[in-house]
Structure 1
């Protein structure tokens, strides 16, 4: 009998996790226990040495006693948790990367950590297109005026209207699972797509976009959308100098990570009129603190870090981790493991 803890939350529900595992592990004897974490009702944050986690170490330790497999989205896998839970062997995180796990400590303790890459790629790509259109056509602002009882005819003035996607050049910074989907969607709008991604190949672009250097992308794009991971090289990659190099009247979209962009420099460019607009789903501090310039700078469209939030995302996330639970129980290599050496050294797979 393999004991499995489903440590879900209010998005990736425990029922989704256990139902998905049940469909995958037929023929194996398993038992379930459950822990419900407070995210997203309570924002995630740093817990001990891991980021973007929910709940507490102590409640997770209590729930993991005697448990061999944990499936979760936000539970914190820390050194303290690992030391207190010697039966744990597999920790499956149902999100794009295992940011809420101490991978080095997990490896030392013989715990394999998996994730669910691509789970929210379609949802985030669709949201990105929605944010582009909202910023270009000022949809939220005009809706707010109408619901307040004001008909703003001046929005139709030539100097106030925005560009179209058809015939525009859109620059994508990053061409992974999300960026490539955005490029495919932009083709349908008739946009020209440029890509800056040092790792992408011409074959991967598949004729949908053209690879260019960063400076060319900045200079030629009417819209720039960020889809890069946060690394030492990409942190702060769009700052005052890069924004100044963009076309007057252009637009920045960020549905990736707040650390990619200097938001203060962005607000300066909107206040000066150098940029037409911007749209953000991610921020340097979440929730946005009171007094932030983002709350008062004009022509910004914002959503609260929910670009990847769809029912399909939650269902895919549960299915992807359940498939790795099945592989683990069958003694097969894990598909999305951050530290396969953890189980190999323990002689499990």
Structure 2
């Protein structure tokens, strides 16, 4: 099969030029989704076009979509979280699903740090007060030096956050069942989430969404954290029981939260999280700097082209390596 015949479906309206240029150079025909997050349109295109490869953004890639496309050979996530892809359906057809590990790690780590500082010092609230003409000098901010950062998940993003927080004088502990020893000197690995919670003046989440992590933080977990702790979530909103989080923020059990992701996105109008003064919110853009988008686009394009051209990328990028 010549490279001229490859059809690549990008489930978004555009792809950064670093990836689009690789596809063009390979002679691929590229189809884009007209509107982001349109799962119905994804299924229509998959059923009606000879798609060889999918570069998956945020729209759902369902079992129905995968089953309806007999030509499909490979899928790559534009990023690392595959909760929107029916990996089991792909595996059943021996279709590899690749990811782009590390491509957005610097950007997501920096967003986590930005949310942490904003939450600890009420920066967003004071900014809004000043813009409203009020000189509201909040003096109840938390100095982070000497506090303990707890990391749930200690991959490339968590490791970057750890190094930055160590640099400002924080202690760091982490829970990651995939690790036997800490890749960052001075970081204490603990054996369970329950062991981490009482240590964590700040808890930062860096895990994928799966059956083990969905709803992993609720009222019982918040009760085990130090009084006045801070929660940072740049992972997935569904990892947290939001009603329990809202209760913990209202009661003062938690000092604040910095959230780049919520259980329902876009955040519905009038949502309680948007009414709380001790919450900093951003619209799931941690990995959406131009640098991160370029790295994810080129990585995803390289993943699918490598498979289609008979030169697969490293198997460590595949989330279902049993099909290789």
Give the TM-score range, shorter chain. Answer: 0.7 to 0.9
Partner of 1:9: 12
Q: Structure 1 residues 234 and 324 mapped into 2: Cα distance closer, same or farther (>3 Å)?
A: closer
What is aligned with 1:137? 121
Look up the match of 2:148: 169
Aligned to 1:347: none
Q: Report deviation, 1:324.
A: 2.3
Secondary structure of residue in 2 paired with 1:38 = coil
| Cα distance, 1:253–1:82 mapped onto 2, change above 3 Å | closer
User: Aligned runs of 1:149-164 on 2, under 5 Å?
Assistant: 149-153=133-137, 155-156=138-139, 161-164=140-143
C-alpha separation in 1, matches of 2:104 and 2:72: 27
SS at match of 1:100: coil
1:281-292, aligned counterparts within 5 Å? 281-292=260-271
Number of the residue aligned with 2:310: 331
Aligned to 2:215: 236
Q: Counterparts of 1:68 and 1:316 in 2: how far apart (Å)? A: 22
- Give me the TM-score of the superposition, normalised by structure 1: 0.81
Q: Do the aligned partners of residues 268 and 78 (structure 1) sit closer, same or farther apart at CA in structure 2, a change above 3 Å counting?
A: closer
Q: Is the 8 A contact 2:227 2:254 kept in 1?
A: yes
The answer to whether the aligner puts 1:227 opposite 2:227 as a matched pair is no
Question: Deviation at 1:208?
Answer: 3.6
1:65-115: CA deviation from partner (whole Å, max 9, x where unpaired): 3x4334342455444434443333223332214333333333444533322
Map of 2:160 onto structure 1: 181
CA distance in structure 2 between the partners assigned to 1:239 and 1:73 by the alignment = 29
State the secondary structure of the residue aligned to 2:173: strand
Asked whether the 8 Å contact 1:334–1:340 carries over to 2, the reply is no
Bigger mean CA deviation after superposition, 324-333 or 133-142: 324-333
In the alignment, does 2:296 pair up with 1:317?
yes
Secondary structure of 1:205 counterpart: coil
Corresponding residue pairs, total: 318
In the alignment, the residues of structure 1 paired with residue 195 and residue 92 of structure 2 have an alpha-carbon distance, to the nearest angstrom, of 45
Q: 1:147 to 1:326 in 2, by over 3 A?
A: same
Change (3 A) 1:296 1:74: closer
The counterpart of 2:30, out of the listed 20, 30, 33, is 33
Write out per-residue CA displacement over residues 28-74 of structure 1, whole angstroms, 9 at most, x where no aligned residue.
xx3323324422xxxx37x47xxxxxx43113433x33x43343424
Q: Structure 2, unaligned stretches of length 5 or more?
A: none
Q: Given that residues 271 and 298 in structure 1 are in contact (C-alpha distance below 8 angstroms), is that contact kept between their aligned partners in structure 2? A: no
**TM-score, length-normalised on structure 2?**
0.87
RMSD: 2.5
Q: Distance in 1 between matches of 2:184 and 2:179?
A: 11
C-alpha deviation, 1:277, in angstroms = 1.0
Q: Distance in 2 between matches of 1:76 and 1:265?
A: 27
Consecutive unaligned residues of structure 1, counting only runs of 5 or more, are: 49-54, 345-349
Equivalent residues of 2:258, 2:281 under 8 A apart? yes
Aligned in 2, Cα 1:228/1:115: closer, same or farther, shift over 3 Å? closer
| Residue from 285, 293, 302 that aligns with 1:306 | 285
> Does the CA contact (< 8 Å) of 1:7 and 1:75 recur in 2?
no
Identify the residue that residue 274 of structure 2 maps to in structure 1. 295
Aligned to 1:113: 97
SS at match of 1:242: helix
Q: 1:11 to 1:208 in 2, by over 3 A?
A: farther
Instruction: Give the C-alpha shift of residue 299 in structure 1.
Output: 0.6
Q: Which has the larger radius of gyration?
A: 1
Distance 1:224 1:97, change over 3 A: closer
1:32 and 1:209, CA in 2 relative to 1: closer, same or farther beyond 3 A? same
